[in-house]
A and B are shown apart, each in its own frame.
Chain A
């Protein structure tokens, strides 16, 4: 993360609770212009909630505290009209299930042009032309014919492409992609990842890529945040995390990935399950599942601390650094396959 350019988005101590149950325990995160940041963790760890909260898209029963700053503007306390101007224009978001994320009774063309109308003032023929250009850009064949079709006439992968076209309509500074490939099959996943990486290169927008798929994250991101039970537990560049995962949880995530090459080894699953936010364990939330946990871990919650190499870590008994480069390279290469 560059220190020269001012950050685009800064999250400070962002907390979210649903009906009094806290699910996000103070997230601090910076996204700079042009960044590509991956947010990794198991389902329910708070990676989507973080960004839904930042954009004010959580349902009314959610209580959000902390600060969300976008280029000097505070969003967490901003009234709805201000947020509406930010959404889609400064920060756009695409979601996990593209088919149900598009309105089934409205024509696709209209769903794109309405975003063009609010963010760029385009109407009529100009809006139509720009929508066709966007459809072409995200790889929808024959956009002229498909402009007036409905979402059920597109495949899942095409729906996600259309979602991306809608997101690009406002020319956002930041695109949040919330598990954009989870609902798609493997070949389509790869295409969408390529598309996101390409668009990011062409437009220069920043990208936050939320996923539980480490391989996908490594393809599009430069840095990664690993989240567990509503906290960031480790943060660093893709190289750092993939070659030397320090947090036992991050390490566990890598060990649970099947390797394509080398000897057939038994996968090492992380024992236990993700804790219920209603009954989080005392101390470090990962301690009941952690092979290295000590008594200290069961009573004290570790803080996320900056490490000498520029990464951050919330663990008092981190995995030892392998020392030589051989071990590092192995994990990295195998995951990158």
Chain B
């Protein structure tokens, strides 16, 4: 068990290191922050001075090791634009993003899983077909289309909900809906197929043959088995709580991490972009780790496998 956790942890560290390196190299190869920050018409001396000030005149590998050293000591650099520590700028935006992504996650779980399970238990019924159709529509519409569609309907046509900003809770409704609909569709489809698969297993017939009530067969025998694949998908959703709203925040001018990322990439604000990518990677890796541990808890066969 200890070995299992340690190998997973090691893998997590390697993944994060890869993301950090990749982000560092790509960002530096793909554009000059000095040009973007200072504009096109500044004299060469100013550009050189800017580069010297931020260490951009150093060879790439020197910059890279300096960067590695600083993040290992907890220093994530300073924003070239705001001159404030990057980590501070990023953390300031986390609550705003969670304000959208947490309610969206609850909606996904609350609607997606029950809809999928219900559809599986009433297979081939009108409800089942309705759930399949709705979930396909839900997860195939890209969020930038869905967001604009919702704005068009609720803000432009009916004028009942605001189309952007963060002033009241009403402002959160459309972005939260936009964020959750795709996930509801994915979870519904996944829960449905997981449940159909489990309900066809011989042990479900045994449970019925035993005289258990239908409800007990579903809750006590089928769901604990169906939970194993569902947890995988939910794990991805939890992992993207922080980073999952880039497009939606941009559409609805929501001042969260996603929007900060877009703005920082445009401005070539290296420290901020790197900091956000690091946090996104860490969130994903941690949630995957938790999912791995949950598997062991849900599935005794895996637990035995790990123990050996």
B-binding residues in A (CB < 8 A): 55, 57, 60-61, 80-81, 84-89, 92-93, 95, 97, 100-106, 114-115, 118-119, 150, 152-153, 163, 166, 169-170
Contact = CB atoms under 8 A, between A and B. Distances in A.
B304 A153 contact: yes
A85 B228 CA distance: 31
A114 B213 CA distance: 11
Contact of A163 (B206, B216, B298): B206
Interface string B215-253: 010001100110010000000000000000000000000
B210 A114 contact: yes
Nearest to A169: B210
Given A84-B213, A89-B211, A115-B211, A105 B224 contact: yes
6 contacts: A57-B209, A93-B209, A102-B206, A104-B225, A104-B300, A118-B211
Contacts of B211: 84-89, 115, 118-119, 170
A88 B203 contact: no
Nearest to B300: A150
B220 A114 contact: yes
Contacts of B44: none
B157 interface: no
Residue from the set A80, A103, A152 with the largest chain B CB neighbour count within 10 Å: A103
Most buried by B among A57, A114, A169: A114
* 6 A-B pairs with the lowest CB-CB distances in the bound complex, closest first: A88-B211, A87-B211, A150-B300, A103-B203, A93-B209, A88-B210
A166 B220 contact: no
A81 to B, nearest CB: 8
Interface of B: 123-124, 201-203, 205-214, 216, 220-221, 224-225, 228, 298-301, 304
A80 B216 CA distance: 13
B275 to A, nearest CB: 41
Contacts of B220: 106, 114
Contacts of A97: 202
Contact of B203 (A86, A101, A114, A119): A101
Given A84-B212, A103-B207, A152-B304, A95 B202 contact: yes
Nearest to B224: A105
A167 to B, nearest CB: 8
Contact of A103 (B123, B214, B221, B304): B221
Choose among B202, B206, B213 the residue with the greatest number of A CB atoms under 10 Å from its CB. Answer: B206
Contacts of A89: 211
Contacts of B124: 61
Nearest to B207: A103
A85 B209 CA distance: 10
B304 to A, nearest CB: 7
Nearest to B213: A84
A152 B224 contact: no
Contact of A101 (B206, B228, B298): B206
Interface centre among B210, B220, B228, B299 (most CB of A within 10 A): B210
A153 B301 CA distance: 9
Nearest to A97: B202
Contact of B205 (A85, A86, A101, A169): A101
Q: Quick one: which of B224, B300, B304 has the most chain A CB within 10 A?
A: B300
A119 B209 CA distance: 12
Contacts of B301: 104, 150, 152
Nearest to A119: B211
Nearest to B223: A105
A286 B207 CA distance: 37
B209 A87 contact: yes
A108 to B, nearest CB: 11
Nearest to B209: A93
Nearest to A104: B301
Contacts of B123: 60
B212 A55 contact: no
A295 B301 CA distance: 59
B205 A95 contact: yes
Nearest to B208: A57
B214 A92 contact: no
A81 B208 CA distance: 11
Contact of B210 (A60, A81, A166): A166
Contacts of B202: 95, 97, 100-101
Contacts of B206: 95, 101-103, 163, 166
B210 A103 contact: no
Contacts of A61: 124
Contacts of A150: 300-301, 304
Nearest to A90: B211
A114 B304 contact: no
B209 A92 contact: yes
Contact of A106 (B201, B213, B221, B304): B221
B221 to A, nearest CB: 5
Contact of B299 (A105, A118, A119): A105
A114 B214 contact: no
A37 B201 CA distance: 28
B212 A118 contact: yes
Contacts of A100: 201-203
A92 B201 CA distance: 18
Contacts of A163: 206
Contacts of B213: 81, 84, 118
Contacts of A166: 206, 210
B295 to A, nearest CB: 11
Contacts of A169: 210
